[in-house]
Amino acid sequence: MDARDTILVVDGDHALRESLCAYLVRQGMRATGAADGRAMRGALLGATVDLVVLDATAPGEGLALCAEIRAGRRHALPILMVAANDDRTDRVLGLEMGADDFLSKPFSPRELAARIRAVLRRTRMLPPAPSAAGAPAALGFGDWRVDTAARRLLGHGGEAVALGGAEYRLLRAFLDHPQRVLTRAQLLHLTHGADAAAFDRSIDLLVSRLRRRLDDGPRDPRYIKTLRNKGYVFSRQVDILAA
């Protein structure tokens, strides 16, 4: 991880926010705090931010702020969401709205720093830009196009569909292995790398999110098919397109 990585901590608890920022600075990162959505927006406009630590209960509705980031110009910005240990609803909603990871309170600053490093490593494991490795500038399937340089999903009319980092990694895993059965364990490795946890059913939630982005109904899917007791397969042909 780059020692200059900047972490934005969005939390309404002043004491906790300041202590977390201080710890992250001691860990070799830059860290800045924001008490609410307004302060978060100002921080994102005023500086380069590499990852957001976002409290699901932050003033301005943390879940809504997560969705706002995913729909905006910083759609690919990694988000690590935190919430109370017993609030499973926030956990599920946060992941559905595009959070890259979720951490339950109470947690230790050391665990937070480890999770931040893991999310940043996974983000940087994304397929390289075409100039870096001769990768295709764009991929096409059905009515969709993927701009691999900008890491954006584009519809038939050119409209952009916001994808979280994990959603993009899953889509690229499918596009890089079309018409091939991929087990949950394989998809977990392709999307989370060496940091993959044992909870492979999280892939089901991620597939569900990606299907919604692609308007791909689970009952009669056009793109991602479920194979009982085997995994998933991306059933469409993938074409390499001109930039």
> Which regions in the chain score pLDDT beneath 50?
1, 127-134, 194-196, 198-199
- Side chain identity at residue 165, one-letter code: G
* pLDDT for the residue numbered 156: 83
With beta carbons less than 8 A apart as the criterion, state whether 148 and 135 touch: yes
Q: What is the pLDDT of residue 102?
A: 84
Q: How many CA atoms lie within 13 Å of 170's alpha carbon, on the beta-carbon side?
A: 28
Tokens, residue 219? 């009952």
Q: Which amino acid is at 206?
A: L
Domains of the chain (ranges, CATH numbers): 6-124 (3.40.50.2300), 133-241 (1.10.10.10)
pLDDT at 133: 44
**Residue 73 is encoded by which pair of tokens?**
């110009």
Residue 234 near residue 161, CB atoms below 8 Å: no
The structure tokens listed for 6 are: 């900047």
CA angle 153, 158, 163 (to 5 degrees): 20
> Does this model's pTM top 0.95?
no
Phi, psi angles (nearest 5°) of residue 99: -60, 140
pLDDT tens digits for range 176-212? 888 888 888 778 777 765 444 544 567 888 899 899 9
**pLDDT score recorded for residue 128:** 43
- What is the pLDDT at residue 214? 93
Confidence at residue 130, expressed as pLDDT on a 0 to 100 scale: 39
What is the pLDDT, as a whole number, of residue 164? 81
| pLDDT value for 127 | 47
| Whole-number Å distance between alpha carbons of 53 and 111 | 13
Q: Which residue has the tokens 């584009």?
A: 154
pLDDT digits (tens, 9 = 90+) for 20-34: 999 999 999 999 999
Residue range 39-55, pLDDT digits in tens: 999 999 877 899 999 99
